[in-house]
């Protein structure tokens, strides 16, 4: 819970310069002295989404700088994230030379994390990207009106019919059919998914959870004018392919030769090694974010299996007393199982927005060794609004 004392301390820290020299953090750093209350000017958006961290939008992820600080502080040999989401923990660990593991129940999250942390031959990747873009351009300029081609690119998927204009859907399906001809197919699937997100029939200001397709011109909250729904996907496929190439190039220069493993499994019973000495994670918030629905376009395009019924704290279950009880039971199962695979003095760092005191270390075989509070105030647009975030620090008891 967050009280007046915490708020007053953070207010005082706002008058001071927050930590931005992340490389200075080491085993002797006193976490209680760190000011992690970054404002936009302290930690701008392009820094928070450096290299592969922005290969695809993902709601509910923590910023990579948090991971870096705690990995530098505790210096683990093997770090694990049982709710790896978009792979932030694993990406940061791989750039710091730390072996890492991640588990997620979502097929798309696993695909995204594997894609971000993979090793790439940049020459092959560059050839593949320019090759597929050249073929896509030829399709757009020469064959998009061909009746036979249209038949090949048709679909019976009702979601794709409802949420994409004819031209955009054909271009996405064309790109999808081409993917099989290239080496880094998973990366192309992420480019396709990112493009599909932008090419849907939605308003410009509601890309996160649109309720229904937008088929008519509308008054645009974001641009302050009348806008029309997107009709094509080509411009996004082209732009994001080139952006992805540059981001992977940058990451490849930073990635160390470490072992990265990603499991598509349930964190309550996944088979893990027994030498995990640190966990850094952010559990799903109870009844808040639908982690499958936010990427529904990817599930439909790629034919991924939807495991939303196995989510802990699924948004569809709400935030009732019973939902919170089932949530904490599921989270505790994960923590207990993870504890069994940790070294005797293993550290668990948990990033939470805990207004209900749901997390009890003693119930899952840990003891609290600290708690770091920070104020998050950088959100923009329709999801703007400040909130407090805690990093709970536990040690295996």
Quickly list DSSP for 3-23.
-HHHHHHHHHHTTSPPP--GG
- Find the range with the poorest average confidence among 34-43, 248-257, 376-385: 376-385
Q: For residues 61 and 85, what is the distance between their CA atoms, to the nearest angstrom?
A: 7
| pLDDT tens track for 267-294 | 999 999 999 999 999 998 876 777 788 9
Nearest Cα neighbor of 392 from 129, 90, 173, 70 is 70
pLDDT tier for residue 3 given thresholds of 50, 70 and 90: low
Cβ proximity of 246 and 51 under 8 Å? no
Q: Average of pLDDT values for 222-229?
A: 90
**What does the pLDDT read at residue 287?**
67
Alpha carbon 251 to its chain's center = 16
Taking all residues of the chain, what is their mean pLDDT, rounded to a whole number?
91
> For 336, what's the count of Cα atoms within 13 Å in the CB-facing half-sphere?
12
Q: For residues 155 and 153, what is the distance between their CA atoms, to the nearest angstrom?
A: 7
DSSP code per residue over 85-137:
TT-HHHHHHHHTT-EEEEEES-HHHHHHHHHHH----HHHHHHHHHHHHHHHH
| pLDDT tens track for 323-362 | 889 999 999 999 999 999 999 999 999 999 876 778 999 9
Model confidence at 1: pLDDT above 80:
no
Cβ proximity of 366 and 396 under 8 Å? yes
> Residues near 270 by Cβ (< 8 Å), separated by ≥ 6?
82, 103, 263, 337
Residue linked to tokens 């005082």: 12
Residue linked to tokens 């757009």: 140
Q: Average of pLDDT values for 66-83?
A: 98
**What does the pLDDT read at residue 381?**
47
Residue percentage of the chain with pLDDT more than 90:
71
Q: Average of pLDDT values for 370-392?
A: 73
**What does the pLDDT read at residue 289?**
76
Q: For residues 345 and 355, what is the distance between their CA atoms, to the nearest angstrom?
A: 28
Q: How does DSSP classify residue 143?
A: I
Pairing of strands 276-281, 78-81: parallel
258 burial type by CB count under 10 A (0-12 exposed, 13-18 middle, 19+ buried): middle
Model confidence at 229: pLDDT above 80:
yes
Model confidence at 8: pLDDT above 80:
no
Kindly report whether the global pTM for this prediction surpasses the value 0.85.
Answer: yes
**What does the pLDDT read at residue 59?**
87
Kindly list the structural domains of the chain, giving each domain's residue range(s) and its CATH number in brackets, ordered by start.
4-117+256-396 (3.40.50.150), 122-250 (no CATH)
CA dist 223 → 170, 204, 208, 218 (Å): 27, 8, 17, 11
Q: Average of pLDDT values for 13-23?
A: 83
Q: Average of pLDDT values for 152-172?
A: 93
| pLDDT tens track for 104-137 | 999 999 999 999 999 999 999 999 999 999 999 9
């Amino acid at each position: 819970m967050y009280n007046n004392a915490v708020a007053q301390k953070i207010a005082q820290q706002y008058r001071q310069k927050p930590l931005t020299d992340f490389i200075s953090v080491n085993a002797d750093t006193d976490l209680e002295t760190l000011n992690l209350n970054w404002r936009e000017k302290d930690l701008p958006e392009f820094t928070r989404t450096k290299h592969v961290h922005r290969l695809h939008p993902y709601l509910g992820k923590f910023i990579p700088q948090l991971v870096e600080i705690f990995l530098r502080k505790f210096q683990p040999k093997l770090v694990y994230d049982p709710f790896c989401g978009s792979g932030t923990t694993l990406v940061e660990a791989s750039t710091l030379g730390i072996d890492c593991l991640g588990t997620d129940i979502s097929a798309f999250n696993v695909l995204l994390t594997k894609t971000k942390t993979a090793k790439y031959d940049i020459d092959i990747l560059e050839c593949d990207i320019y090759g597929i873009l050249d073929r896509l351009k030829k399709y757009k300029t020469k064959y998009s009106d061909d009746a036979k081609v249209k038949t090949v690119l048709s679909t019976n998927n009702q979601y794709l019919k409802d949420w994409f204009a004819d031209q955009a859907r054909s271009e996405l399906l064309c790109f999808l059919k081409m993917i099989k001809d290239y080496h880094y197919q998973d990366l192309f699937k992420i480019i396709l998914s990112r493009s599909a997100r932008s090419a849907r029939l939605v308003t410009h200001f509601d890309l996160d959870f649109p309720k229904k397709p937008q088929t008519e011109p509308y008054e645009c909250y974001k641009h302050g004018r009348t806008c029309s729904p997107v009709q094509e996907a080509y411009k996004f496929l082209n732009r994001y392919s080139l952006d992805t190439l540059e981001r992977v190039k940058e990451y490849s220069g930073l990635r160390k030769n470490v072992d990265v493993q990603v499991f598509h499994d349930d964190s309550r019973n996944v088979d893990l090694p027994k030498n995990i000495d640190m966990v850094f994670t952010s559990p799903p918030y109870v009844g808040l974010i639908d982690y499958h629905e936010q990427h529904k376009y990817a599930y439909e395009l790629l034919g991924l299996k939807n495991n939303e019924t196995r989510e802990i704290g699924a948004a569809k279950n709400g935030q009732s007393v019973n939902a919170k009880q089932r949530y904490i039971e599921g989270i505790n199962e994960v923590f207990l199982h993870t504890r069994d695979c940790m070294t005797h003095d293993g550290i668990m760092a948990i990033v939470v927005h805990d207004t209900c005191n749901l997390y009890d270390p003693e119930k899952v075989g840990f003891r609290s060794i600290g708690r770091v509070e920070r104020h998050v105030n950088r959100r923009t647009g329709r999801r703007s609004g400040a909130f407090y975030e805690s990093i709970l620090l536990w040690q295996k008891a």
